[in-house]
Amino acid sequence: MKNGVIVEDGFVYKDETHLTVSKTSLFFAGDGYTAYDCKGELVFRVDSYGPDTRDTGELVLMDASGRCLLTLRRKRPSLHQRWEGFVGERIEGQKPIFCVRRSSIIGRGSLSVEVYTDPGEEYQIEGSFANRHCTIFDAEKEIVAEIRRKPSVWG
């Protein structure tokens, strides 16, 4: 973010930083993910809560010690498959700090991220998480983050 920070400064990297993301369970859909830095140390954990995260549950981003940094909750009903983000553990009545929504109600187009705490701050996410290739652009269409498959040792 250019003007504000959603989470603490310690999680904002000024230089290009590579993180390795792994699914915590290969057997159950909807389980969480872990993110490790280049030294192999745990940086983030994402866990899902609720019977089916796609429909009613929440996603929680935690630091290495398990402290909740952000909570994502699906907004129901929503034509654009909108999710809202909250600082820390979401409590009833808390206002969201950002929302993520599909740019189009038809197909699997890009996602838009609107940051409520910083008016005018928007991001566009293009690509496919399922295919492990996404690019995140800021309002000026500059790349701010990228998700790519890790190159295998076999090429």
Per domain, the residue ranges of the chain are 18-148
Burial class, 152, CB count within 10 angstroms (exposed 0-12 / middle 13-18 / buried 19+): exposed
- Mean pLDDT across 101-118: 78
Q: Pick the residue with more confidence: 29 or 112?
A: 112
The CATH class given to the 18-148 domain equals mainly beta
Is pLDDT at 78 greater than 80 in this prediction? no
- Taking alpha carbons only, the member of 150, 109, 106 closest to residue 127 is 109
Is pLDDT at 136 greater than 70 in this prediction? yes
Is pLDDT at 60 greater than 70 in this prediction? yes
The pLDDT of residue 23: 79
Q: Pick the residue with more confidence: 1 or 39?
A: 39
- CA distance linking residue 1 with residue 95, whole number of Å: 19
Q: Pick the residue with more confidence: 9 or 63?
A: 63
| CA 76-116-33 angle, 5° bins | 65
- Rounded alpha-carbon distances, angstroms, from residue 70 to 40, 46, 50, 97: 23, 10, 16, 10
The pLDDT of residue 40: 92
The pLDDT of residue 105: 65
At residue 11, the 3 state secondary structure works out as helix
Beta strand pairing status for 68-74 and 58-63? antiparallel
Burial class, 68, CB count within 10 angstroms (exposed 0-12 / middle 13-18 / buried 19+): middle
Structure token pair of residue 80: 């654009």
Is pLDDT at 107 greater than 70 in this prediction? no
Is pLDDT at 122 greater than 80 in this prediction? yes
- Please name the residue that has the structure tokens 């496919």: 128
Structure token pair of residue 48: 């899902």
Burial class, 80, CB count within 10 angstroms (exposed 0-12 / middle 13-18 / buried 19+): middle
Kindly report the average pLDDT of the chain as a whole number: 79
